[in-house]
Amino acid sequence: MIRLYNTKTRRKEDFVPLDPGNVRMYVCGPTVYDRAHLGNARPAIVFDVLFRLLRQEYGSDHVTYVRNFTDVDDKINARAAETGRPIAEITGETTGWYLDDMAAIGVMEPTHMPRATAHIPQMIAMIGQLIDRGHAYEAEGHVLFAVESWAEGYGRLSGRSVDDMIAGARVEVAPYKRNPMDFVLWKPSPPDLPGWDSPWGRGRPGWHIECSAMAEKLLWEDVKDSLSAEARAHPHTFDIHGGGNDLMFPHHENEIAQSCCANDTAEMARVWMHNEMLQVEGKKMSKSLGNFFTVRDLLDQGVPGEVIRFVMLSTHYRKPMDWTEKKVQQAERSLRRWRKMVEGVEPTVPIAQVVDLLSDDLNTPGVLSDLGHFGQALFQKAGSTWETPEPGTASDEWSRLAGQFLASARLLGLLQPDLGEWTKTPDLHPLARRLAEMRNAAMHTKDFSGVDRLKGGLIEAGVEVRMSKEGVELVPGAGFDPSKLEALSDD
Strand partners, 473: 466
DSSP structural state of residue 351: -
- Interacting residues of 171 by C-beta distance below 8 A, sequence separation 6+: 180, 181
- Interacting residues of 336 by C-beta distance below 8 A, sequence separation 6+: 423, 476, 477
Query: What are 418-434's pLDDT values in tens digits?
Result: 998 888 767 777 888 88
- Please state the pTM of the whole predicted model: 0.87
Is the predicted pLDDT of residue 389 greater than 70, yes or no? Answer: no
Query: What are 255-284's pLDDT values in tens digits?
Result: 999 999 999 999 999 999 999 999 999 988
Is the predicted pLDDT of residue 408 greater than 90, yes or no? Answer: yes
Q: Which residue has the higher pLDDT, 102 or 392?
A: 102
Arithmetic mean of pLDDT, 10-39? 97
Q: How many CA atoms lie within 13 A of 370 on its CB side?
A: 20
The pLDDT of residue 385 is 43
- Interacting residues of 144 by C-beta distance below 8 A, sequence separation 6+: 136, 137, 176, 177, 178, 182, 183, 184, 185
φ/ψ of 344, rounded to 5, equals: 80, 0
Cα(365)–Cα(371) distance, integer angstroms: 10
Is the predicted pLDDT of residue 186 greater than 80, yes or no? Answer: yes
Domains and CATH numbers, the chain: 3-275 (3.40.50.620), 279-423 (1.10.730.10), 429-490 (no CATH)
The pLDDT of residue 411 is 98
- Interacting residues of 148 by C-beta distance below 8 A, sequence separation 6+: 162, 178, 179
Is the predicted pLDDT of residue 170 greater than 60, yes or no? Answer: no
Sequence-ordered alpha helix ranges (H) in 173-268: 207-216, 229-232, 253-263
Is the predicted pLDDT of residue 386 greater than 60, yes or no? Answer: no
Is the predicted pLDDT of residue 165 greater than 80, yes or no? Answer: no
Closest alpha carbon to 159 in 249, 241, 238, 239: 249
Q: What letter represents residue 348's amino acid? A: T
Confidence tier at 171 by pLDDT (50, 70, 90): low
Cα(204)–Cα(192) distance, integer angstroms: 12
Query: What are 112-155's pLDDT values in tens digits?
Result: 999 999 999 999 999 999 999 999 999 999 999 999 999 989 99
Query: What are 465-488's pLDDT values in tens digits?
Result: 888 877 888 877 767 777 788 777
